[in-house]
Amino acid sequence: MRVITQQTLGGPEVLTIVDAPEPQPIPTEVLVRVKAIGLNPLEARLRAGEFPLIGRPPFILGWDISGVVEQASGTWRFRPGDEVFGMPLFPRTASAYAEVVSAPALHLARKPTSLSHVEASALPIVGLTAWQGLVDLGGVREGDRVLVHGGGGGVGHVAIQIAKALGAHVIATASGSKRKFVEGFGADEVIDYTAVDFTEAVRDIDVVLDTIGGDTVERSLDVLRPGGHLVTAVAEEDTKLAATYEAAGMRFSGIAVDPDPVALQGLVELVEQGRLRVHVQETFPFERVTDAHRLLDAGHLQGKLVLTV
């Protein structure tokens, strides 16, 4: 099989395609013939050495996959021929930039028939992050006021839809150029952060979901109602900021996404109900991974990028 690996840290040019032996699944794992691979900004940071999550090279990046089961070793969950998707092993190395991946069956779900492999591969990390942030940590309920920072990004556009499905009134921050995009996913209000200070535009927020970090997290304290909850996917280990929130009578939670079969099935149900879709900005063939990573490095994406295999 072919894999995309790197021997050194650096720019997109360090990514190379090489031949490698196929992995051998252990009991409870399945071997998946990959059809599409979802790309995430985290992977660009890992490639460049900005975030020491998986050690030093050589390594194979990637977690988000969609494909077809070829072998099912000691598991009743899937059979050969089943179409599946998921985010196996995160944050451990899943080596998903590959034509074949071995993954725990528990970390996968059957691909909804309404989603292509491209769309399904784009969903796991962003969908699980949004679900765990809003449902598991945020406890969003009907009638809550939810503020999503970065509504046009991968996590953000999915989070808007999940919050709406929970019955919340959803406000999202996004650049003016993304207003229609964000409104198309159900946001009740959109704040153009390039023209308006969100702290002056909203009040009495029950839950803030932050995907931006920096001073956005700090200033979000000013828009929460008493006892409100800030959930961040960026500054999850900022103990000083957590203490500031707690001293003000607010709740502060950091979300570090992990494989979650219950949440993954929840995403499947929303997709099947027609209440959740994922936007793919652009697809790239496997051989053009460096071009895809250049776009990742540039930032300001609408939704997700996907490699097709």
Q: DSSP per residue over 267-302, as a string? A: HHHHHHTT-----EEEEEEGGGHHHHHHHHHH---S
Partners of 80 in beta bridges: none
Say whether the peptide bond before residue 58 is cis (omega within 30 degrees of 0): yes
Confidence of residue 192 (pLDDT cuts 50, 70, 90): very high
Above 90 in pLDDT, residue 238? Answer: no
Q: Helix (H, G, I), strand (E, B), or coil: what is residue 253?
A: strand
Superfamily of domain 2-124+259-308 in CATH is: Medium-chain alcohol dehydrogenases, catalytic domain (3.90.180.10)
**Least reliable range by pLDDT among 15-19, 34-38, 144-148, 252-256:** 252-256
Helix and strand totals (H; E) in the chain: 10, 15
Whole-number Å distance between alpha carbons of 66 and 86: 7
Say what the pTM is. Answer: 0.96
What local confidence, expressed as pLDDT, does residue 258 receive?
A: 94
Residue with token string 């936007």: 279
Each domain of the chain, given as residue ranges in start order, spans 2-124+259-308, 138-254
Pick from 113, 117, 111, 162: nearest CA to 141:
162
Cβ(280)–Cβ(305) under 8 Å?
yes
Q: What is the pLDDT of residues 85-125, one digit of tens each?
A: 999 999 999 999 999 999 999 999 999 999 999 999 999 99
Q: What is the CATH number of domain 138-254?
A: 3.40.50.720
Residue with token string 């991974």: 289
Residues 6+ apart with CB under 8 A from 76: none
What local confidence, expressed as pLDDT, does residue 49 receive?
A: 95
